[in-house]
Structure formats: structure tokens, C-alpha cells
Structure 1
Amino acid sequence: MSEQSSPEQSDSEQSSPEQSGSGSTDAPATPAPAEPVARKRRPGKPKVDPVLSAAVELAHEALHEIAAPEQVGDHLGVSAEEDRLLTHRFAADKPGYRGWEWFVTVARAPRAKKVTVCEIGLLPGDQALIAPPWVPWLERMNDEEKQAHQAEQADSERS
């Protein structure tokens, strides 16, 4: 199938400089791709969305997917992550997790009133007991254990 040009096209639009041999470089053969539009960021902290902030009961119910109702304590507060993205925190009344907090992240589309649950989970709070940083086994051994380990390695090399 041959390509036909419309009467509205000029000579420069009908053929590229490489095709015409004229060496003209007035217009590029293909248009430059548009630059992505960057989302304008407001300086400072994002504001707490009132619709999301009021969704405490929805957030509380969402936690029942991963926790027994008696393990979800009082609502501790909210924090804005981004515009229309907010995290609700609840006390964790879970054995072995003193000081931990349940979290539920909720969001909504611009100009929409429907709240969507994005993520739920359990995170350590300020007073939580957490494990110390991991130390490799070879660094944790005492002198007696190190000697036994070296003897085992020597035996395995002989075999």
C-alpha cells in the first residue's frame, strides 16, 4: 500500500531530509517526546484529610482481617503521609507485643468521598521491645566455642 500525502502537507512534511537529499534540517523527522509533567509538591507537611481522618471505624474493622477484636486497642491517632493518604494507629493488645501499634493506611481519590484501605499491619511503637541488631554467629562465640569450631574445621579438612 503506498502512502499518499494530503494537499495540506508541505514538501518538508512529505519527506525527511534523508529521503529528499536536500540536507535541510529545518524540522525534525519525528516530534520530540513530551516531558513528563511533574507533580507539584507543597512545601512542609501534608495536611490531614478530614474524610480520611473520620474513617476510624473503617480502619478498626479492617484490622479484624489480621487480628482478633480483643487484640485491637484504643485509637492512638492519625498521621498524614501524603495528600489524601493517612495512617490510623491503634494500641496492640497482643500478648508478647507490649508497646507495639496496629496501623491502617487509608486513601481516597481527588474529589471522592469513598475511603479505601491500602495497608494494615503491626509496627513497633516508641515503647516497644525489639530485638537487638543481629550479630553473626562467629562473632558471638566465646573462646571455648571458637576452639571447638576450629577443631571441627581441621577434622573436616583432613577427611
Structure 2
Amino acid sequence: MPKSPALEQKDFARIALIEATSKSKVGNFIEVIDEGENVASYLFENNQKGYVGWRWSVTIFQANSNEPATVSEIVLMPGPDSLVAPDWVPWSERLADYKALQLELEKQAALEAEEAEESDDDADLDVEDDDADDLDAEDDESESNDSESESVEIQSAEQPAESESAVSDLEEGEDAENDSENTGRKPPRFLRRRKGFKIKKARGKGKNPQD
């Protein structure tokens, strides 16, 4: 290992680092860390590709100012902004975390399935209610049509009855009039009025009322 009592420790640490790696991999000086007991670590930037934020650490030991400095170690270490692997976790802890996650996923899946089933049941009930409403509406419409048909039939049946009643009254009036003429008696007043109406109607047509 290189020894240089004449050079400052920082320069000595850089020279030692370049000798251990290469000049292209060594960047600017960052800081020095006092490790205690005559030990200090000098940090330099790392210029290697793929190691962004990493830094070189050169640890120097010097017993006293009269003794030459010596290099204890040179390492590449991550900085505060460098990308590093996660901390190692024992297999037992990782397995416990995995089981807990699977249990939580199963509970969530069961809850979602239950909610989906309830939603399907509600949808079926809505469809049944709609079908029942449609059937009620059809029944009401059918009853309404039946009532209208019955009303029309009743009116149609009443009209011929009224016509027959009017014809019957007219025939009875004419028979009574003929009977009164045969007996020499005057017919009742309402028959004379009806007869006068018939005479006027015949005159309006230009016919002889006696024909």
C-alpha cells in the first residue's frame, strides 16, 4: 500500500484510490469523516455508469504526525440519493406477510361476491315488480274494455226496445182513434194533436192528407 508522510491525507487518499481503480472512475472530493482513534474516511464521487449517487470511501490511519499514513480500506458505498436494494427480510417474516395478504384478498373477494349476489337479487325483485305492474295494467285495460263493450251492448239493446215502444204507442193511438171514429166519439186530445202533426207533415210534402 502506498505511504506518503509528505502529502496531505486527502491527496494521499486520492492517489491510493486511483491506483486501486482508475482515474476515470474517481470524481471530485466530497468530505472527510473522522472515525476516531486516528482514523479518517475520505469520500470521493464515483463516475462509473450505473452507480448514480454512489461514492468512493478511502479510510486512512495515521498513528501520529511523525508516522506515515496508511490505507485501511477502499470501498464503493451508496449515497443518500443512490438506488439500492431493499433491506433483507427473513423468510419467516416474508411468509407471514404473504399469508396475511392472501387472507385479506380472500376476505375482500368474499365481500365483493356477497355484494354482487345482493345486487342480483334486488334486480330480480325489480323485474318481478315490473312484470306484476304490467299484468295489473293489462287486467285494468281488459276490464275497462269489457265494461265499454257491455255498455255498448246495453245501449244497443235499449234502442230497439224504445223504438218498439214508440211504434206500439203510435199503433195504440191509431187504434183508439179508429175506435172513436167508429163510435162517433172524439179521440182523446193527445191523439188529435198527434194526428194534426201527421196532417201538417203530409201537407209539407205536398200530399193529400186524406190519401
TM-score (structure 1 length as normaliser): 0.49
**Structure (1/2) with the larger helix percentage:** 2
> Which one has the largest radius of gyration?
2
**Structure (1/2) with the larger strand percentage:** 1
